[in-house]
């Protein structure tokens, strides 16, 4: 064990989702040492006394829900969460869905939902006495980790798939001072490498295999329930490494166990057609995913062939009567433009996948039009300026006089 602040928590433990082996909360462990499967944080929910009216008196944010988070000390925070929930009026009208919403996670401090996980994950790194943090990333995780590590005053190492990370995300990781390494390989390989590095050299791994990180991300579900004043019928998320869909499901299950809600939404995952191992497993009713060896999509954030959280995500989708669907790159980009121009919501391609997935499911006749549907749009438009510029005509340059301006406006 590294030395650090004394770690005080007997309120929760880590449990293997496969063989139910139990580990103490302060053990640095990412997967079950008995069977190799994923771990989850388990709270003694029947012993916790949570006063919901106290939650309501706190600002809408990750830390409103701190009784259901693992951090015991002062968190490393940049005021994450509290993101807007927009009614998609025009797109909803076109699709015949009067109750279609988007939770805009691009409005977080680093511009993606990853900040919810990182405020908790980096706080836990501090609490556990770790001195360096690391991750592999398709971009957003690295940007967020770099930012929260900077806030904590801790060095960060990030591994990226060379040539496959959007410009804004690399800029963030570099500017916030992380050690940025591009590997000649894809995200799945980068994750294997960083996992190995962390185990052998004592860095703290902050990919979504880390159960504490997912604890922060589950607050997306908590906020939606508070913002809507009810449980949506369907929760739709873009799926890459499958951590976020698993996290939201876990959180809502906790609210159900506490008696705060009386049902779960149908958890629905959307993947890019060229990178869809979860969709395949759902469609073919496979017990586990078959990794996609060469995933490809313009939505580089979700260009992932071997999702580490697949086991949890398949449970989330199946146990709630949800589903999974693919969308093509063309459908993703069309929805990115529709969100931008018809709703005023700027998101990166992977984020548009959730709403594009709903359009596809409506066209396939799989959606009841009266459903209350919340799509999580995961990252901000400015994350990937190159994909935006490639879709839009360049500004028209004119001489600096009024007649040139008028003729440009009339052409
Ligand atoms: N949307 C965006 C914008 C993402 O960056 C990611 C994942 C996802 C959706 C998928 O979430 O992995 O929990 O299923 N990005 C990771 C990264 C992999 O490294 O930034 P997931």
Given phi > 0 = left and psi -120 to 50 = alpha, else beta, which region is 344?
Answer: left
Determine the distance from the C-alpha atom of residue 194 to the mean position of all C-alpha atoms in its chain, rounded to a whole number: 19
Query: What share of the chain in percent tops pLDDT 70?
Result: 98
Q: Which atom of ligand 1 is nearest to the CA of 112?
A: 3
The verdict on the CB of residue 173 being under 6 Å from ligand 1 is: no
Q: How far apart are CA 298 and CA 394, in angstroms?
A: 20
- Of 351, 303, 313, the closest CA to residue 107 belongs to 351
Confidence grade of residue 362 (pLDDT, cut at 50, 70, 90): very high
Q: Which residues contact 350 (CB under 8 A, 6 or more apart)?
A: 238, 240, 272, 299, 300, 301, 302, 332, 378, 379
On whether the 85-111+213-391 domain is CATH 3.40.50.1100, my answer is: yes
Q: How far apart are CA 82 and CA 94, in angstroms?
A: 28
Atom 9 (ligand 1): residue with closest C-alpha?
238
Strand partners, 42: 13
Average pLDDT rounded to a whole number, residues 23-48: 96
Q: Which atom of ligand 1 is nearest to the CA of 137?
A: 19
Residue 10 has a pLDDT of: 56
Query: What share of the chain in percent tops pLDDT 90?
Result: 96
The verdict on the CB of residue 110 being under 6 Å from ligand 1 is: no
**pLDDT 10s digits, 250-268:** 999 999 999 999 999 999 9
The structural domains of the chain, with segments of one domain joined by +, span 85-111+213-391
**DSSP annotation of 241:** S
The verdict on the CB of residue 336 being under 6 Å from ligand 1 is: no
The verdict on the CB of residue 301 being under 6 Å from ligand 1 is: yes
Identify the three-state secondary structure at position 164: coil
Residue 400 has a pLDDT of: 98
**pLDDT 10s digits, 187-241:** 999 999 999 999 999 999 999 999 999 999 999 999 999 999 999 999 999 999 9
Please give the helix or strand (H or E) that residue 140 lies within, else none. helix 140-152
The verdict on the CB of residue 306 being under 6 Å from ligand 1 is: no
Higher pLDDT, 6 or 58: 58
pLDDT over 70 (residue 9): no
pLDDT over 80 (residue 323): yes
Taking only Cα atoms into account, the Rg of the chain, rounded to an integer number of angstroms, comes to: 21
Integer angstrom CA distances of residue 314 from 12, 267, 386: 24, 10, 33
**pLDDT 10s digits, 82-110:** 999 999 999 999 999 999 999 999 999 99
Task: Provide the whole-model pTM.
Answer: 0.96
Please, what sign has the CA dihedral across residues 88, 353, 81, 24?
Answer: positive
- Of 127, 141, 91, 29, the closest CA to residue 341 belongs to 91
Which of the listed residues 241, 382, 387 should we mutate to test ligand 1's pocket, taking the one with most ligand atoms within 8 A of CB? Answer: 241
Please give the helix or strand (H or E) that residue 318 lies within, else none. helix 310-319
**pLDDT 10s digits, 129-164:** 999 999 999 999 999 999 999 999 999 999 999 999
116-148 as b/e: b if 16+ CB within 10 A: bbbbbbbbbbbbbbbebbbbbbbbbbbbbbbbb
CA of 114 to the centre of ligand 1 (A): 8
CA of 113 to the centre of ligand 1 (A): 8
Q: What is the mean pLDDT of the chain?
A: 96
The verdict on the CB of residue 314 being under 6 Å from ligand 1 is: no
């Amino acid at each position: 064990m590294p030395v650090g602040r004394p770690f005080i928590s007997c309120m929760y433990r880590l449990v293997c989702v496969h063989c139910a082996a139990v580990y103490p909360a302060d053990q640095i462990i990412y997967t079950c040492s008995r069977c190799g499967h994923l771990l989850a944080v388990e709270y003694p929910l029947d012993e916790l006394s949570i006063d919901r009216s106290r939650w309501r008196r706190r600002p809408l944010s990750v830390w409103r829900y701190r009784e259901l988070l693992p951090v015991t000390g002062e968190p490393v925070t940049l005021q994450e969460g509290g993101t807007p929930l927009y009614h998609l009026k025009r797109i909803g009208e076109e699709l015949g869905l009067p109750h279609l919403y988007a939770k805009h996670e691009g409005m977080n401090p680093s511009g993606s939902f990853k900040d919810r996980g990182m405020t908790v994950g980096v706080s836990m790194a501090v609490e556990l006495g770790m001195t360096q943090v690391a991750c592999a990333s398709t971009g957003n995780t690295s940007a967020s980790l770099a930012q929260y590590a900077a806030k904590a005053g801790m060095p960060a190492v990030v591994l990226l798939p060379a040539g496959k990370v959007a410009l804004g995300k690399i800029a963030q990781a570099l500017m916030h001072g992380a050690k940025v390494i591009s590997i000649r390989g894809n995200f799945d390989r980068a994750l294997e490498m960083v996992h190995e590095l962390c185990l052998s050299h004592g860095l703290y791994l902050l990919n979504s295999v880390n159960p504490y990180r997912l604890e922060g991300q589950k607050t997306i579900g908590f906020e939606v329930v508070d913002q809507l004043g009810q449980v949506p019928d369907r929760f739709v998320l873009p799926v890459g490494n499958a951590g976020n869909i698993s996290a939201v499901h876990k959180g809502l299950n906790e609210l159900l166990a506490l008696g705060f809600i009386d049902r779960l939404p149908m958890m629905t995952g959307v993947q890019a057609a060229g990178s869809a191992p979860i969709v395949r497993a759902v469609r073919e009713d496979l017990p586990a995913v078959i990794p996609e060896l060469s995933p490809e999509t313009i939505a580089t954030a979700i260009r992932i062939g071997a999702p580490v959280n697949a086991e949890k995500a398949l449970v989330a989708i199946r146990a709630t009567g949800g589903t999974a669907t693919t969308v093509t790159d063309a459908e993703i980009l069309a929805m990115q433009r529709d969100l931008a121009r018809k709703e005023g919501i700027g998101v990166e391609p992977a984020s548009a996948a959730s709403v594009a997935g709903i359009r596809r499911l409506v066209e396939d006749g799989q959606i009841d039009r009266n459903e209350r549907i919340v799509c999580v749009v995961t990252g901000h438009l400015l994350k990937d300026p190159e994909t935006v510029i490639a879709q839009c005509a360049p500004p028209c340059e004119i001489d600096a006089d009024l007649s040139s301006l008028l003729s440009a406006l009339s052409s």
